[in-house]
Amino acid sequence: MFPVFRLVSNPDDLVFEKHMLFTSTKQFKDAITEYAVKGGWGVKFVENDKVRVRAKCQPPCKFTAYLAKLPREMSWQLKTLNMEHTCTRSFKNPRCSANFLAKKLMKKVRRQPDIKLRDIQEVVHEKYVVNISARKASRAREKA
């Protein structure tokens, strides 16, 4: 029996194992994005099609994760996993998009619709140790 991915509320509790099952590529991409932003790693999705997704960190880092569709099943399996990072933290993370931030800041923006962009930038920096532009903070606020 293979391990099944479980969503967790705390990104520090995310666990990936080789042969782990995912329900969709979206679930996998969301989990990798959360992991990459929290860790400060510049992970990118380099191969995407109907049967596979590959996530790699910036060269020369060794992190790699390869997800493939299981034949005749509705699930996806993590076939290759190397969790070793030889890179350093990036303060400009490609995975920290306006869409990602909008999901994470939705409650805060709903409670405080007139929140200043500078406040959003500070919250993101405190939570994820990532620097974002005022424009990205603005797009995240609009989407939230």
Same domain (yes/no): 77, 112: no
User: Does some domain include residue 93?
Assistant: no
Look at residue 16 in the predicted model and tell me its pLDDT: 93
Look at residue 44 in the predicted model and tell me its pLDDT: 93
User: Does some domain include residue 120?
Assistant: yes
72: left (phi over 0), alpha (psi -120 to 50) or beta: left
pLDDT tens-place values along the chain, 144 residues long? 788 998 777 767 788 999 999 999 999 999 999 999 999 999 999 988 999 999 999 889 999 999 999 998 999 999 999 999 999 888 888 899 999 999 999 998 999 999 999 999 999 999 999 999 999 999 999 998
Look at residue 140 in the predicted model and tell me its pLDDT: 94
Give me the residues paired with residue 45 across strands: 55
Task: Return the residue matching tokens 């920290």.
Answer: 96
Look at residue 71 in the predicted model and tell me its pLDDT: 92
* Contact residues for 107 (Cβ-Cβ < 8 A; gap 6+): none
User: Does some domain include residue 1?
Assistant: no
Look at residue 6 in the predicted model and tell me its pLDDT: 83
Same domain (yes/no): 28, 77: yes
Token couple for 115: 């929140």
**Cα gap 62→16, rounded to integer Å:** 16
Same domain (yes/no): 65, 118: no
Same domain (yes/no): 76, 105: no
Name the residue range of residue 15's domain: 11-82
Cβ(52)–Cβ(68) below 8 Å: yes
Look at residue 80 in the predicted model and tell me its pLDDT: 96
User: Does some domain include residue 123?
Assistant: yes
